[in-house]
Structure 1
Amino acid sequence: MVIKKPVNEWKSMLTIVIKSKVDEFRMMGYTKTNAEDIWQCLTEKVWKGNPEKRLHEVVQDIFHLKTTTYMSFLTVKTYKDDNLLASIAALTESND
């Protein structure tokens, strides 16, 4: 039997999957990426709330999250925070 749960109920089981996505984005130059922003992006842009999904569907959604979707989410978030330039600079600065 395959269990469907609201996506937020799967979150605690997905730490390593989310970390993998954070690492991927950091390797691509988005050095300030963090797990909470990834999760919030998925909740707001991909799932649009807290729908019921199977575990493998949630994992697939995380692995398929594109940088363009993530950057669009961050842009809207920073407009709300009214600090767009500082956030873009923080994301693209290197940790040399």
Structure 2
Amino acid sequence: MINESFAYSSKYEPWVNLKIREFNQLGYHQINEEDLWKFVVQFCWKRAVPEHYYQQINDIMKITPNHYLDYAALEAQVYKVTSLDDMNLEDLF
């Protein structure tokens, strides 16, 4: 399994930025470079990074907003949230 620290190098930057611009044109302005890279590493390349650079780029370019949003929704559902009993709510009043 590939860990989160898979290097985000400048060789991926143009492709990730292109995909972000595509998402922005479709109205998804909240998705940024870091979010998309995390999706690529933790989901697309979870089991193995494609051997060839062109395959890696192809994986990035195939991402749709729907793919990313499905991943984000799943991540939000399994994210560990602090219990209300453990939170200090006095500051809210």
1:24-63 mapped onto 2 (5 Å cutoff): 24-63=22-61
The aligned counterpart of 2:71 is 73
RMSD: 1.8
Structure 1 or 2: more strand by fraction = 1
Higher relative contact order (CA 8 A, sep 6+): 1
Structure 1 or 2: more helix by fraction = 1
Letter in 2 for 1:60: N
For structure 1, the residue ranges without an aligned partner over 5 or more in a row are 1-7, 83-96
Distance 1:75 1:81, change over 3 A: farther
Q: How far is the alpha carbon of 1:49 from its aligned partner?
A: 4.5
Report % sequence identity: 20
Give the alignment's TM-score, normalised by structure 1: 0.66
Aligned length, in residue pairs = 74
Give the alignment's TM-score, normalised by structure 2: 0.68
The structure number with the bigger radius of gyration is: 2
The aligned counterpart of 2:89 is none
For structure 2, the residue ranges without an aligned partner over 5 or more in a row are 1-5, 82-93
